[in-house]
Amino acid sequence: MNFIKKSLCTLFLTATCSLFCVPQASEAMNLYRAKQYKEAIKVCEAKIKVNPSDIESHTILCWSLLLTGQYLQAEERAQNARKINSTDIRLIEALAEAKYRLGKNDEALTYFQKYVSSARESDGDFGLSYFFMGEIYIKQAKYQHADIALTTAVRSKPQNATWWTRLGYAREQCKSYASAVEAYNKALSVNPSYADAVKGKERCQTHL
């Protein structure tokens, strides 16, 4: 009987420690939102150690790894987390961005396309994913594709001068100079001193 009581007591203490001693995912999210990414990583690692299938902790971990520049680790952890849940769009987007940061553009594009096909336009990373896709298309010299992707990106975040400038550049490479000037003007309406937009507009105006 004493042995049984001790065993039950041990089980109770272990469960209690799991619930109260290990930081919860909500704490990790609070740290992430406070931009304390290194601390968020520690909390997520502790949570995952107790519950390896905790997708929320895996997701916050990947986001935090990306924002601390640990792209290889983010790629690896996102791939592992997708073995638990392959359809979670947050993990798909995190893996796409990790591959993009690592220069794996073809793979990144595949995952960005998977993400935007399932995400809603109101989702936080929707516009950013289209921006990254536009940048990949520019690197591939697929400027019409870049135009489409970047047009979608600026629709979600019209106050981003950089995105408007890159859209202007994509249109410029398509020799759509009038529409390129429109994009550069949008960038300059957000930031009148944005040098790349000023130079791009000047280049295009010589063709009009």
DSSP states along 69-95 = T-HHHHHHHHHHHTTT-TT-HHHHHHH
Q: What is the pTM of this model?
A: 0.84
Check residue 66 and give its pLDDT.
98
What is the band of 20 on the pLDDT scale with cuts at 50, 70, 90? very low
What is the rounded average pLDDT of the residues 165-194? 98
Q: In whole angstroms, what is the distance from residue 135 CA to residue 100 CA?
A: 10
> Phi first, then psi: what are they for 175, rounded to 5°?
65, 25
C-alpha torsion 68→73→78→81, nearest 10:
-120
